[in-house]
Amino acid sequence: MATGISELKISTPNGTATRNVTLKQVLFCPDLAFTLVSLMKCDTTGYSMLLKDHKCTISDLHGTVLGQVPLTRGLNQHQYMFQTDETVNVAHKTLSLDQLHQKMGHISPHAAKKLVKNGTVTGLNLDMSSKASFCNACAKAKPTCKPVPNEHTSLHVTNVSDKVHSDMWGPATPQSHDRRNISLVSLMTTAVGATLNQ
């Protein structure tokens, strides 16, 4: 959650050099590990962006190139190094696995931990010994199918072929001995039990 709004001076890579740029109306989010720059906001204020040759080139109203941000691990990102006089109030908060899971948009806790461990996500400290707990938001938002009941609830059939369950599977590789690659499985419920036809 944003707690303030102000200007932010950053340095952007521009070829072999860097250029200082002032971002206006920046939202200050103390819990956010990264500084995100909205291309839509840049566009509405008259700047242009060109995504080409594995970099994002940002130009001002007159066409002057302000920065060229390289494509790294699927994102146009630049690690800004703070100057020594700017590091007085910098503090890193150690996150639990549950906090990281929530901040990363409720992705799998195992995947979130792996992203930090592999160095894909940087700029934050994760308590590697912390364990993930049950997440109510995920349990309510992510169910994909109805639970399978523990007990049989429908009526038992009394005659052969009263109920037939079928499923088609394929194409499969490799093919069967008779050069077929699709299988039809039928389960016929009988009064005594079930028979399997393929």
Q: What is the pTM assigned to this prediction?
A: 0.39
For residue 154, is it within any domain? no
Structural domain count, the chain: 3
Q: Are residues 6 and 86 in the same domain?
A: yes
Domain co-membership, 20 together with 101: no
- Give yes or no: residues 11 and 86 share one domain: yes
Q: Are residues 68 and 24 in the same domain?
A: yes
**What does the pLDDT look like over 18-71, one tens digit per residue?**
888 888 888 877 777 677 788 888 888 888 989 888 888 989 889 888 888 888
pLDDT for 92:
57
Query: What is the predicted pLDDT for the residue at 20?
Result: 83
Q: Report yes or no: 198 and 184 within 8 Å, Cβ to Cβ.
A: yes
Q: Do 83 and 3 sit in the same domain of this protein?
A: yes
Its domain, for residue 185, covers: 163-197
Residues 7 and 75 occupy one common structural domain: yes
- Per-10-residue mean pLDDT of the chain, 198 residues long, equals 76 82 79 76 87 89 88 77 48 80 86 87 84 86 71 70 70 74 62 44
Residues 62 and 52 in one domain: yes
Shared domain check, 14 and 31: yes
Residues 37 and 123 in one domain: no
Indicate if 137 and 177 belong to the same structural domain: no
pLDDT given at position 129: 92
Give me the pLDDT at residue 184, please.
66
- Peptide bond between residue 30 and the one before it cis (omega within 30 degrees of 0): no
